[in-house]
A and B are shown apart, each in its own frame.
Chain A
Amino acid sequence: MGAIPKGVISLDPRTKMLLLIAVSSFIFTNTSYLAEASILVVLMLIAVGLGIPKTALKGIIIYITLSAVKYGLLPILPNMIAANFNIVAVTFRKLLPCFLAGEILVQTTSIRLLMFTLQKLHIPQTLIIPLTITVRYFPALSEERQAISNAMKMRDVKGIAKKLEYIYVPLMITASNTADELSQAITARGIDNPVPKTCAIDIRLRSLDIFMIVASISLLGWTITKMFL
């Protein structure tokens, strides 16, 4: 989180959003393992190109592990256990391409770019502002959580139940303070100005975007046709 990585390629936020939608709808209707794996490989290449190789690597490792569990471990386990494991291993594996597409969008797009893109897509500002503040809020929250967990280590708080109990109150209090201070600061920067916002970054659809958009739309189209045939 933080600085936007500089990759060898760059994509327009609109392309990334469409990609996320296309991948998600495809995954939910797909039954072929090969197709699923190919989508993941493509997404991984995009992630590497955009400058987030670590995320891509993490995704692929989890995918391989889960596949190994499904095809290597589950057949030799007793049925009772296998049935339970099966749901976890398969569902999570199937969702992985969606997660990766989501990560690609979130990690390589600055919040203001997201805001600007949503505005370009004619989403009303009353929806955009709360949405973007929510996105901004999570990293702040994770900082707070880190501090509280440090404090608990110092107080020698042990056991999950106790930790959950103790983290709750300070986190609620600081979270509400943080939300308050954040919205104050943002208000003071004139976020609710009704004029159309501009963006200092030059964003436009390049040839790679067009290619990705065509690919995404084809994927979407194929998914929809398959559903009705």
Chain B
Amino acid sequence: MIQIDDVSFAYKQQKKEQLSHITLAIQPGEFILLCGKSGCGKTTMTKLINGLIPHFAEGKYNGKVLLSQQDTRNLKTYQIAERVGSIFQNPKTQFFNLDTDSELAFGLENMGTDPVKIRTRVSKVVQELEIEGLLNRGVFELSGGEKQSLAVASVYAADPQIYVFDEPSANIDEQGIERIRQILFKLKKRGKTILIAEHRLYYLMDLLDQAVYLKDGNIEFVYSNKEFKNISDTQRRELGLRTFYPIDMAVWQNKKPKPSEALLTIANLTCCYRNEPVVHRATFSAAKGDVIAVTGTNGTGKSTFMRCLCGLIKESGGTVTYQNKTYNHKQRRSLCYMIMQDVVHQLFAESVKQEFQLLNHTVPDDKITEILTELDLKPLMDKHPMTLSGGQMQRLAIAVAFLSDRDIIVFDEPTSGLDYTNMLVVSRMVKKLAENKIVFIITHDKELVQESCSRILRLADGEITEVN
């Protein structure tokens, strides 16, 4: 089905090869997991199969990839698209249409399928994948999980033989993952060939036929399902892989009771998203040292709630009190700091070092050096923030939060798309921040919650409850 033959690839303007001498044969109907640490070449490998290499990404490309005996070099991108369906990591940028109905029909329309057949096929797909709730909506109003379900459904509508996934779970909640898992089962049952590059592994354990472990652009190991499952826990951590099994929150060690002395009190806080209330009269309190997970399914309003706490959205009712002083939404902006999911949006200075000078108070140089050393960023001090890698940018944003005078720090999905090792790094920094601040983490990542959070708030149907 797919034959990767001694392929090496280096992106344009990069000396280092992202993949070197990769050889792999994939049989029809096989389910292949591509795993390994961040930057190991997983995503690049998915691009070999869906033809983005060599047709889209520029770089140095050697070797060849055969799809049913045909070299991808000699196939046009649309010919590859008819055989290989791709689901990408970033749900924001994988839709062409702005409304869901159009997106579902888009692949078939491109192939010139008869309109009547398209309508029949789309309604069948909607029924099979149970996505009735997604019909006739704008793609921007969908939650991350809904976007990802729509992405799979629209590819599935065109019915290719091969499916390539690039970290489909990165931005979605447990229910969303379960939904994707069910869809994957269906695809597998239909004999589709599936390749999936992924950090979160637990939901794939019963699906995979082979697991390919990549390290620095080389295939280090190829495991069968049985061999993969037999990897011990210690070994797994050494390989930098995420948990193989769903996290059991019963063994949650950092758990702390509700503080007796509250520093931050939120009373009857009501927040709206586009004039619709999504959080009703939330009431809770927190103390210094608390690391509070904010959980709940995609689209329940976790981000809205936290944006309101940070003062980016005006509350529709209720109060936020800190150290016995009530803060309105504008005042809260200088009390809280948010580390966004896409940290590119929040780095503004011309060098890493100057990023700290944008804080509204002066920070002594030795403090900056100290934190940068600790986060492995010191050699990059004079570089432009935008030239850093994603992980480095995230650490820089955290460093800025650390030296800011803000007492409340909010993380928005800090570990989506992070491998085990980097997740531990984030967790360590969270704990360090919590030494003299209150930390909130919006997350679906139970591994992170177990590792670093001391309390869990759950948002469902507009109600905030504390999980014990």
| Complex contact A181–B88 (CB within 8 A) | yes
The answer to whether the Cβ of B105 comes within 8 Å of any Cβ in the partner chain is: yes
List, in ascending order, chain B residues with CB within 8 A of A143's CB.
92, 140
List, in ascending order, chain B residues with CB within 8 A of A144's CB.
345
List, in ascending order, chain B residues with CB within 8 A of A1's CB.
98, 138, 140
| Complex contact A182–B93 (CB within 8 A) | yes
Contact of A3 among B105, B109, B137 (CB under 8 A): B137
Scoring B residues 343 to 354 as 1 if CB is less than 8 Å from chain A, else 0, what string do you get? 011111000000
Which of A28-36, A75-83, A193-201, A209-217 interfaces with chain B? A193-201
The answer to whether the Cβ of A155 comes within 8 Å of any Cβ in the partner chain is: yes
Which of A19-27, A50-58, A95-103, A165-173 interfaces with chain B? A165-173
The answer to whether the Cβ of B228 comes within 8 Å of any Cβ in the partner chain is: no
Least CB separation from B313: chain A residue = A150
The answer to whether the Cβ of B8 comes within 8 Å of any Cβ in the partner chain is: no
Scoring A residues 126 to 170 as 1 if CB is less than 8 Å from chain B, else 0, what string do you get? 000000110010011001100110111111110000000010011
The answer to whether the Cβ of B30 comes within 8 Å of any Cβ in the partner chain is: no
Scoring A residues 185 to 210 as 1 if CB is less than 8 Å from chain B, else 0, what string do you get? 11111111111111111100000000
Give the CA-CA distance A191 to B112 in the complex, in Å. 11
List, in ascending order, chain A residues with CB within 8 A of B86's CB.
185, 188-189
The answer to whether the Cβ of B81 comes within 8 Å of any Cβ in the partner chain is: yes
Give the CA-CA distance A95 to B312 in the complex, in Å. 35
- What is the minimal beta-carbon distance from A187 to any residue of chain B, in angstroms? 5
- What is the minimal beta-carbon distance from B14 to any residue of chain A, in angstroms? 15
Scoring A residues 1 to 21 as 1 if CB is less than 8 Å from chain B, else 0, what string do you get? 111100000000000000000
- What is the minimal beta-carbon distance from B357 to any residue of chain A, in angstroms? 11
List, in ascending order, chain B residues with CB within 8 A of A169's CB.
348, 386
Give the CA-CA distance A182 to B122 in the complex, in Å. 23
The answer to whether the Cβ of A120 comes within 8 Å of any Cβ in the partner chain is: no
List, in ascending order, chain B residues with CB within 8 A of A189's CB.
81, 86, 96, 106-107, 110, 154-155, 158
| Complex contact A156–B307 (CB within 8 A) | no
Least CB separation from A165: chain B residue = B348
Which of B20-28, B230-238, B334-342 interfaces with chain A? B334-342
- What is the minimal beta-carbon distance from A10 to any residue of chain B, in angstroms? 14
List, in ascending order, chain B residues with CB within 8 A of A139's CB.
98, 140
Contact of A198 among B96, B97, B113, B310 (CB under 8 A): B113
| Complex contact A200–B115 (CB within 8 A) | yes
**Do A188 and B50 contact each other (CB < 8 Å), given the known contacts A150-B307, A151-B346, A174-B344?**
yes
The answer to whether the Cβ of A85 comes within 8 Å of any Cβ in the partner chain is: no
The answer to whether the Cβ of B73 comes within 8 Å of any Cβ in the partner chain is: no
Which chain B residues in 134-154 approach chain A with CB under 8 Å? Answer: 136-141, 154
| Complex contact A187–B81 (CB within 8 A) | yes
The answer to whether the Cβ of B99 comes within 8 Å of any Cβ in the partner chain is: yes
Give the CA-CA distance A112 to B96 in the complex, in Å. 9
| Complex contact A193–B112 (CB within 8 A) | yes
The answer to whether the Cβ of A184 comes within 8 Å of any Cβ in the partner chain is: yes
| Complex contact A154–B333 (CB within 8 A) | yes
List, in ascending order, chain B residues with CB within 8 A of A200's CB.
105, 108-109, 115, 118-119, 122
Give the CA-CA distance A201 to B116 in the complex, in Å. 9
| Complex contact B312–A2 (CB within 8 A) | no
The answer to whether the Cβ of B95 comes within 8 Å of any Cβ in the partner chain is: yes
The answer to whether the Cβ of A67 comes within 8 Å of any Cβ in the partner chain is: no
Give the CA-CA distance A169 to B113 in the complex, in Å. 43
**Do A193 and B81 contact each other (CB < 8 Å), given the known contacts A157-B348, A187-B52, A198-B112?**
yes
Number of A-B contacts (CB under 8 A): 186
Give the CA-CA distance A4 to B92 in the complex, in Å. 19
| Complex contact A151–B90 (CB within 8 A) | no
| Complex contact A198–B109 (CB within 8 A) | yes
| Complex contact A195–B112 (CB within 8 A) | yes
The answer to whether the Cβ of B416 comes within 8 Å of any Cβ in the partner chain is: no
| Complex contact B109–A185 (CB within 8 A) | no
Give the CA-CA distance A136 to B99 in the complex, in Å. 11
| Complex contact A3–B138 (CB within 8 A) | yes
| Complex contact B107–A190 (CB within 8 A) | yes
List, in ascending order, chain A residues with CB within 8 A of B359's CB.
155
| Complex contact A156–B334 (CB within 8 A) | yes
Give the CA-CA distance A198 to B105 in the complex, in Å. 10
| Complex contact A151–B93 (CB within 8 A) | no
**Do A154 and B312 contact each other (CB < 8 Å), given the known contacts A2-B98, A181-B94?**
yes
Give the CA-CA distance A125 to B65 in the complex, in Å. 29
| Complex contact A112–B137 (CB within 8 A) | no
List, in ascending order, chain B residues with CB within 8 A of A140's CB.
92-93
Give the CA-CA distance A156 to B335 in the complex, in Å. 11
Instruction: Pick from A148, A151, A189 the residue with the most CB of B within 10 Å.
Output: A189
List, in ascending order, chain B residues with CB within 8 A of A178's CB.
92-93
List, in ascending order, chain B residues with CB within 8 A of A113's CB.
102
Least CB separation from A1: chain B residue = B98
Give the CA-CA distance A157 to B342 in the complex, in Å. 19
| Complex contact B111–A195 (CB within 8 A) | yes
The answer to whether the Cβ of B3 comes within 8 Å of any Cβ in the partner chain is: no
List, in ascending order, chain B residues with CB within 8 A of A197's CB.
109-110, 112
| Complex contact B137–A2 (CB within 8 A) | yes
| Complex contact B109–A112 (CB within 8 A) | yes
List, in ascending order, chain B residues with CB within 8 A of A111's CB.
96-98, 102
| Complex contact A4–B99 (CB within 8 A) | yes
| Complex contact A166–B348 (CB within 8 A) | yes
The answer to whether the Cβ of B283 comes within 8 Å of any Cβ in the partner chain is: no
| Complex contact A190–B115 (CB within 8 A) | no
List, in ascending order, chain B residues with CB within 8 A of A133's CB.
96
The answer to whether the Cβ of A110 comes within 8 Å of any Cβ in the partner chain is: yes
Give the CA-CA distance A198 to B112 in the complex, in Å. 5
The answer to whether the Cβ of B114 comes within 8 Å of any Cβ in the partner chain is: yes
Least CB separation from A148: chain B residue = B345
Give the CA-CA distance A151 to B158 in the complex, in Å. 39
9 contacts between A and B (CB under 8 A): A2-B99, A139-B98, A139-B140, A187-B55, A188-B81, A188-B88, A191-B110, A198-B113, A199-B115
A: residues with CB less than 8 A from B are 1-4, 110-113, 116, 132-133, 136, 139-140, 143-144, 147-148, 150-157, 166, 169-170, 173-174, 177-178, 181-202
Beyond contacts A110-B101, A199-B115, A200-B109: 9 other A-B pairs, Cβ-Cβ < 8 A, are A4-B136, A113-B102, A116-B109, A152-B348, A166-B348, A169-B348, A174-B345, A188-B50, A192-B77
Instruction: Name the 8 nearest CB pairs between A and B, nearest first.
Output: A2-B138, A190-B81, A151-B346, A195-B112, A193-B78, A181-B93, A200-B105, A188-B86
